[in-house]
Structure formats: structure tokens, C-alpha cells
Amino acid sequence: MATTSAIITGPHVAADRSRQRREAGLQYVSKEEIELRTPIKSPPVLVIDGEVEGRDFEIVMRGFTNYFRKETWGRAKGQRSFMGGQKAGGYAVEIRTESFSGQWQQGWRGTHGGGGGGGREEYQGDLPPGRDLWNSHGFVGPRFEYEAHKRVWNEPDHSLQWKEEYEGRIPKGQIWIPKKIIWSESGRDYSSRWSRQPREFKIRSFKFQEEPLVEWFEARVKEYFPPQAIFGMTNTAPKFVARPTHN
């Protein structure tokens, strides 16, 4: 099995993000522009692991369509204290396949669970962290040191907006992976607006490989979601008509 991998090493240097972005120039890249990027030759699966808000996370992507992210915290289920009680812990998952989109969280001893599956019809236009490293043709990665993507979903009485910013780049041959993904969500409900605290996904390592296959992602849906939370939708990448560009 062919595998390409990279490990992020060295001390973390704190920096003023606003100053960095002003100096480097944060580049907003649209969904259409990402789709027009030429794919970089790579194995079909990208696996990323890192840390977010004190949790470990793993992202597994097979192209744009198949996406799996799992965050874990605390102790595993079944690990007990000296007095015999379950130690606190839990996990959260987010999954995309050609026919499914959903999130689910399970916690034990003081942490909460719950979630749901399904979504809007036709193209799934939200933005899970790191998904725009791919377009419908293959892996494209970031092209700028500081790059931002945004999605907006509007309805008459409410709207949602997802945004991610890539900070830094880790090179591996012709392949680039962001050092950090800053992900945020905001919206409007009737007359009020809301926003959630941005989440910083700090990437420790990544690798490209041949597996898992599509069936693995479909099996994870059945593993993590109860039957009543599963219903179908179309989740494949949008079809764009290539158009000439002018410099």
C-alpha cells in the first residue's frame, strides 16, 4: 500500500494572528474557484490527526464526498475509578457520505450526548473542517499561506454561515496541508443573530493512503448513529462548468 505522510515537529511559537493575516494577506477562495483548481496527484484517502479544545481529533477523507471526523475526550467507556465509578469522557462524530450527512455526540458521567442525521436535499453545502482540501476531481490543498473559505445557507426566516481559515502550510513534496484550521459558525433566527466561539484545529500529522474504501464510511454511519437518526440525502460535490480564466 502506497503511503505518503508527514509529522509536524518543533516548538509551537505563539503569534499575533491579526498581524500575520495583515502581513501575509488572507485570501478568500470561493467554492467555484476551488472546483477549478487542478488536482494534485495523491493516494485517494487523507488522514489528519491533531488537537482541538483539549480534545484529540482524527479526520478521514476519501475525496470530497466521504468525510469522517471523530473527537474524543476524557477516559474511554468502561474505565473506572478506584471507587468503581465510570470516569468522565466521550466522543463526537461528523460523517458525510454520498447519501448521508450528520453529527452525533455521546458522553458518559457528566458529559452530554445527542445529535442527528440527514440534511438538505441535493448538494450538501455546509463546510466541515478541512473538506475543501478536495474538489470533485481530487485533492487540491491550500494555495495560499492564509486562505479562507465560506458557505452561506439562506432561508426566509433564518440563515447559517460556516467559515474556515487555513493558517500556515506544511509541505510534503508537491502536497501542502494547513498547520491550523480555524472553524466558525454563525447564523440568524428571525430577528436575532448568533455566533459560536471559533474552534482551532491544530494539526499534528497527516498521511495519504489507499484505504479505507467507501464502504468503511457507510459502516461508520451504522456504527455511530441509531436507526431513527438516519435518513438519506444527496451529498456529492456540485457539478461546475469549467470556464476560462484571465490573469
pLDDT (average), residues 204-221: 96
Residue 152, all three cell numbers: 452561506
Confidence of residue 79 (pLDDT cuts 50, 70, 90): low
pLDDT of residue 119: 38
pLDDT digits (tens, 9 = 90+) for 174-184: 899 999 999 99
Count structural domains, the chain: 1
pLDDT of residue 86: 57
Residue 2 resides in a domain: no
Reduced to 3 states (helix: H, G, I; strand: E, B; else coil), residue 219 is: helix
pLDDT of residue 24: 66
Residue 15 resides in a domain: no
Residue 49 resides in a domain: yes
pLDDT, averaged across the chain: 81
Poorest-pLDDT segment among 9-23, 119-133, 142-156: 9-23
Residue 108 resides in a domain: yes
pLDDT of residue 118: 45
Confidence of residue 88 (pLDDT cuts 50, 70, 90): confident
Range of the domain at 183: 22-229
- Residue 129's identity, in one-letter code, is P
pLDDT of residue 20: 64
- Residue of higher predicted confidence among 108 and 78: 108
Q: How many CA atoms lie within 13 A of 229 on its CB side?
A: 16
pLDDT digits (tens, 9 = 90+) for 151-199: 988 888 888 899 999 999 998 888 999 999 999 999 988 779 999 999 9
Residue 198 resides in a domain: yes
CA distances for 195 relative to 94, 132, 162, 182, 202, angstroms = 20, 22, 10, 14, 21
Contacts of 170 (CB under 8 A, 6+ apart): 6, 8, 176, 177, 178, 179, 203, 206
Residue 235 resides in a domain: no
Residue 84: pLDDT above 80? no
- Residue of higher predicted confidence among 229 and 26: 26
Residue 229: pLDDT above 80? no
Residue 11 resides in a domain: no
- Among 72-86, 205-219, 227-241, top mean pLDDT goes to 205-219
Q: Are 101 and 68 in contact (CB under 8 A)?
A: no
Residue 9 resides in a domain: no
- Among 50-54, 81-85, 170-174, 185-189, top mean pLDDT goes to 50-54
Of 107, 189, 199, 203, the C-alpha closest to 156 is 189
